[in-house]
Amino acid sequence: MRGNFSTITKMFSAGAVAAGLLMSAPAKAADDTIKVGILHSLSGTMAISETTLKDAMLMLIDEQNAKGGLLGKKLEAVVVDPASNWPLFAEKARELISKDKVAAVFGCWTSVSRKSVLPVFSELDNILFYPVQYEGEESERNVFYTGAAPNQQAIPAVDYLMSEDGGSVKRWVLEGTDYVYPRTTNKILEAYLKAKGVAAEDIMVNYTPFGFSDWQTEVSAIKKFGSAGKKTAVVSTVNGDANVPFYKELGNQGIKAEDIPVMAFSVGEEELAGLDTAPLVGHLAAWNYFESIDTPENKKFIADWHKFIKNDKRTTNDPMEAHYIGFNMWVKAVEKAGTTDPDKVIDAMIGVSVPNLTGGYSTMMPNHHITKPVLIGEIQADGQFETVSRTPGLVMGDEWSDYLPDSKDLISDWRAPLSCGNFNVATGKCGGKGTN
């Protein structure tokens, strides 16, 4: 019996080891790659802007894998489509983190989509790289903002329009899509314009829904407002595919750039690719990158993009550069930390500098915003932008506006011992979260 028992025991032990190996095989396979989440709308009203960002991320991941991957492992892209459905962004983010076990997520475009996912990234302690200009008034520990804050786009754009080179504008139309980014940006701009001596009657504010298409009445109102004898400009935070009929109607009503220039914050090369640009020549956009920038880094990026996408007509744009910067910063921070553990990577990110595409280096600051140049571009007939103004150096993103009473005393610094996204310098207290 003893011998039989010993034989049975050995058989059981061997079976258990085999079962253990079988059970561990999927886990080992899962550990063979580092998963990277891509959270961009591939359908719905924002697909016109976000699909290209998904493609750009796939290119960057491919390029990193060609260099040998990261920490000795290949990167694996996990792509989801939140379909321009803001609550679905949160659901898809949770899926990426909890189910797919991604190390970081690159995604969102609209601020309402970003706001939707913030609690998820905080709760599950993961990292979001957000690549689009936004309204500020936020600095979250789990988010790195690689797009422009208002002082890196909106404020310099208004300053340019006020200048002699920009036409010495005296009257302002703040035209936006009806959600948090345009409303907060315009709140800041209204306060800024009034601080500069602009009268309330010389500011008109209007909002339309996502996907808005019937622009005749709105454009007629702009035309009427601009007929008062003062130089007028439109500052546009119209987002997504609503830009196509908006610009078409400007052309239909004969509004030319020399009469009422439009300064856009959400129209880049990708959006212009779907438009007849002839009536738009001379209108403006404020970004931190244009495809037309003449640097060796940008030429290589464009060539790599065309090779990857297999289409020489596909343009590059500002949010693509923001993903380029953010992805390379993440890679560098992971290498520095020696792990993809979010807590360690978050700490390692601060101070990381990587080349941008406009010349020089962008740096991640303690407020989780980066340094960027500010460019004003004029639309050309070929759908490109000619740079007409550029800041002499890089501008550090300001997360809290100096022009809003509730924000002017707030700063963000995620380094120990402060580790706060909204520290009030007047009271000496942290608000306890990164939003106001």
> Which amino acid, 24?
S
Decide if 12 is inside a domain.
yes
More confident residue, 30 or 130: 130
Query: pLDDT tens across 164-177, in order?
Result: 999 999 999 999 99
Judge whether residue 2 has pLDDT over 60: no
pLDDT at residue 117, rounded to an integer: 98
Query: pLDDT tens across 31-46, in order?
Result: 799 999 999 999 999 9
List the beta bridge partners of residue 362: 354
Decide if 20 is inside a domain.
yes
> Average pLDDT, stretch 232-255?
93
User: What integer best gives the mean pLDDT of the chain?
Assistant: 92
Decide if 222 is inside a domain.
no
> Average pLDDT, stretch 64-71?
98
**What's the number of domains the chain is made of?**
1
Judge whether residue 28 has pLDDT over 60: no
Decide if 311 is inside a domain.
no
Q: Which domain holds residue 1?
A: 1-25
Query: pLDDT tens across 257-288, in order?
Result: 999 999 999 899 988 887 888 888 999 999 99
- Nearest C-alpha neighbor of 412 from the set 395, 396, 398: 398
Please state, for a pLDDT cut of 90, what percent of the chain lies above it. 87
Q: Is 0.85 topped by the overall pTM?
A: yes
Decide if 192 is inside a domain.
no
